[in-house]
Amino acid sequence: MNRFFSKKILASFWAINIYVAVLIFVLTRIGLAHPGLVESIYSSGLYPFISRFLSLVSNVFPFSLDDVFYASLFIFMLLGIVLVFIRTIKWLVFLKRIVLLLVIVYSSFNVFWGFNYYREDLTTRLQLPTAKANVDELLEAFRWLVEQTNNSYVPVYSLDKVEVYKAIKVQYIHQSEFLKIDTLLLKTNPKSITLSSLFAAATISGYYGPFFSEVHINKYILPLDYPHVLAHEMAHKLGVSSEAEANFYAWLVCSKSEDKRLAYSANLYLMQYFVYECYKYEGFKEIVKNIRYEVRHDFYKSHYHWMALMNRNVELVATTVNDAYLKSNNVEEGIEDYEGVVKYVMDYLQSEYIGR
């Protein structure tokens, strides 16, 4: 009798999770067609409450709960394979458990954060006009950025991470009306990535953990890169799913800071994307000549730092996985989405908001 009820309960558990996953998938398809609904119901409605609750739990712990969660998934699958090989459980049973686990992870991911991939884009949310910049305007923006980076230059050899977090939080609050964000979500406890060396081998400087609303920063990050990366991951916590949009949020709040270290970090980071977009045009070399020596030094210092830590095979796998992940979550550009920040900066520079 007990065995009968156990099987019935297990079958019901299976059915409920499958139905929930199917429902969530249907909702994502609806969201794909109606981003305004996602924006009003989820991103600006349910998500802030979910994120705040998750943060209440995760902020209690000094270590990453997301890292523990991912490690537990890996151990579960590894242990399952071992048990199959020693014939403690059957392959079919193991596969059923894996499928159920993936279904639960899929549903949890979307409920906790993933629906943000279907919200309105940045230009719609911030009511920015979509500028159709020509090459001359692009190069002019690059020239402006070089000047801003030169002017914001300050040697950055060490940082008080708590102080940097507070400065970024202040600017997010200051820009909250324009950026359309819930400032209560800014309360976070940035954590180090447990396997920082592995992530560094993939040139990953930080990531946002959606299952416990945690901001993670690589232990090997240079002080020079820290402010922008932290602001970028905080943008994800605010419900910004697009990498290009998170780059824009991070650049805006850091570049507006009175702390020149934040402004310099953001401007230098943004420069790499403008260099990539502009190097093929005539006039690029003339602009580059105006970059001051110290800025050039820091630009290459950051680049070679990550190249020294990178493992080509690990980086290739991570890039492929990240590209597939982004494309499966309504980011058509995939890994190239990061470069879209240039467009958003151009839209911003050519808008009425530039004076803010």
Q: Say whether 216 sits in a helix, a strand or coil.
A: strand
Q: Say whether 117 sits in a helix, a strand or coil.
A: helix
Q: What is the CB-side half-sphere exposure of residue 267 using CA atoms within 13 A?
A: 27
Q: What is the tens place of the pLDDT at every residue in 243-259?
A: 999 999 999 999 999 89
92 band by pLDDT with thresholds 50, 70 and 90: confident
Which pLDDT does position 5 carry in this prediction? Answer: 43
Q: What is the tens place of the pLDDT at every residue in 106-119?
A: 999 999 999 999 99
Q: Say whether 86 sits in a helix, a strand or coil.
A: coil
Q: What is the tens place of the pLDDT at every residue in 45-82?
A: 999 999 999 999 999 999 999 999 999 998 888 888 88
Q: How many CB atoms lie within 10 A of CB 65?
A: 19
Q: How many CB atoms lie within 10 A of CB 101?
A: 15
From CA 280, how far away is CA 342, in angstroms rounded? 15
From CA 282, how far away is CA 276, in angstroms rounded? 14
Q: Do the Cβ atoms of 208 and 236 come closer than 8 Å?
A: yes
- Of 202 and 323, the structure prediction assigns the larger pLDDT to 202
Residues listed for the chain: 356
Lowest mean pLDDT among 158-172, 207-221, 278-292, 317-331: 317-331
Q: Which residues are CB-neighbours of 245 under 8 A, at least 6 positions away?
A: 121, 122, 235, 340, 341, 344
Q: Do the Cβ atoms of 153 and 297 come closer than 8 Å?
A: no
- The pTM (predicted TM-score) of the whole model is 0.89
Has residue 14 got a pLDDT over 80? no
Tell me the backbone φ, ψ of residue 215, rounded to 5 degrees. -95, 125
From CA 1, how far away is CA 12, in angstroms rounded? 17
Q: Which residues are CB-neighbours of 122 under 8 A, at least 6 positions away?
A: 128, 240, 242, 244, 245, 248, 344
Q: What is the tens place of the pLDDT at every residue in 189-237?
A: 999 999 899 888 888 999 999 999 999 999 999 999 999 999 999 999 9
Has residue 354 got a pLDDT over 60? no
Domain range annotation of the chain:
2-118, 124-355
Q: Do the Cβ atoms of 128 and 348 come closer than 8 Å?
A: yes
Backbone CA torsion sign across 130, 135, 140, 141? positive
